[in-house]
Every structure is written in structure tokens, then in C-alpha cells.
Amino acid sequence: MTTLDIRSDVTVQLVDHNLSDKAVVRAARVSTVGQTHNNPTEDADRDAGLINYLMRERHGSPFEHGSLTLFVEAPIFVFREWQRHRIASYNEESARYRELRPVFYLPAADRNLVQVGKPGAYRLKPGTAEQLAFVDCELLNAYEAAYEAYERMLVAGIAREIARAALPVGIYSSMYVTMNPRGLMNFLSLRTHREDAAFVSNPQREIEMCAEKAEAIFAELMPVTHAAFEANGRVAP
């Protein structure tokens, strides 16, 4: 019997990027002064004011210049949500061309478990210790049974693309995703919960864990743009 690898976390790693606040300023200034890439201005306050203006007025296209590539490991149910964001490019490992590894998700002890309220207007509250143990037990049993069925089919010569039908959405996958800053801000706006946002979204916690990691990377690479995003209600321009 294969030993399952159990995780409660997600991986979001910066692989590559060409993001900068300067690229936003350069793109915006072409409309009023023409090219500036050979003679960039060195007025940080003016640049920050321009970026804030663009964000506030939702002049979005200057935020489309540049991209970052992230490597992500998360359960498949997170990927289903993330890949709904069409303004991005994705490449994910294939369950047709490789055998999926037995890596499965269990909620951490501090993950809220119990839904209170109606669909679309509910909140989650902590489960009891018994509920957490129950969830762990049920998920582990399901994962073990599913992965054993998957392996039995592979041993019997069944194609991976058929055998994978036995696997649950709690299994981990991996992908590269490339986004431009505007698409990323739309993702962050929708996939984080912030009470102080102009629009308060209620994403599932597991994709929010990914978004929080992506946002920390974004804030480091584009501090002025990120500050303007925050200051203007976390609305994507």
C-alpha cells in the first residue's frame, strides 16, 4: 500500500518576472509626452501620484505591461477556481501523461469547518476538536481508498486517463501560471477577503492562501502599484 503524503499548505513560488512600477509609468506617459524609455524621469513622488491616479480612475491598460510566472502546488479544487481567471496563461501537470503522486489535502487545525447561513451569504466558524478529527478520518479513508483503486487499475494495465477518474479533488496538482499586473490584481481582489475592500469578496480559504502568497510577491516587485491598489479599495483597475 502506498503511503499518502498529506499537506495542509500550498506552494506559490516566483519563477520569473519583468514587473516594475516604472513600466506602468512609462506606458501611461506615452499618451502625454511620447517615449520615455530612453530618458526616464526620476521623480518618485510624481510617479506614485500618476500610478495612484491611474488606479483610482481605473485606467487599466498601463498595468498590463509585464508579467510574472508563478509555480503553484495546491489541491485540484483550488486549481479549478484559479483557472477560471482567463486573463492568465496556464500549464499544468497532466494526469494522462504521468502518474499522479499520492499527495492529498487535509485542513489545518485552525481552518474553519462549519458553515453558518445561506449559500452566497454565509460565514464559517471553527469546528470542534471532534469535528476536525472526523474530517481528517473521513478524508484519509476516502483518499486511501481512491488512491488504492487508482493503483490497482494502473497495475491492471488501464490507461492513466481512465484510472484518474477514481481520484478526488483533494489531490495536489502543480502548474505554472503567468499573469500581468492587471489580471493579478483582479485575481487578488476576488480571491482575498478584506473587510476594508470596496468590494468584500468571500473566497474559499484555500485559494485565498494562494492569493496571499501571490500578493506578497506582487507587493515586493511593484510596491507603488500595490500601495495604490490598497489605497483605492483593492479594486482592479
Active site residues: 191
Q: Does 87 bind ligand FAD (CB under 6 A)?
A: yes
- In terms of residues, how long is the chain? 237
Compute the least distance from the CB of residue 236 to ligand FAD, in Å. 7
Q: At what angle do helices 205-221 and 181-191 cross, to 10 degrees?
A: 140
Q: Does 186 bind ligand FAD (CB under 6 A)?
A: yes
Compute the least distance from the CB of residue 131 to ligand FAD, in Å. 24
Q: Does 178 bind ligand FAD (CB under 6 A)?
A: no
Rounded to 5°, the CA angle 135-141-146 comes to 125
Q: Does 33 bind ligand FAD (CB under 6 A)?
A: no
Window of 34-42, 101-109, 157-165, 185-193 that interacts with ligand FAD by CB under 6 A: 185-193
Instruction: Give the integer Cα–Cα distance in Å for 203 and 79.
Output: 13
Compute the least distance from the CB of residue 219 to ligand FAD, in Å. 20
> Which 189-208 residues touch ligand FAD, going by CB under 6 A?
190-191, 201-203
Instruction: Give the integer Cα–Cα distance in Å for 36 and 25.
Output: 9
**Under the rule (CB under 6 A), what is the footprint of ligand FAD?**
84-87, 183, 186, 190-191, 201-203
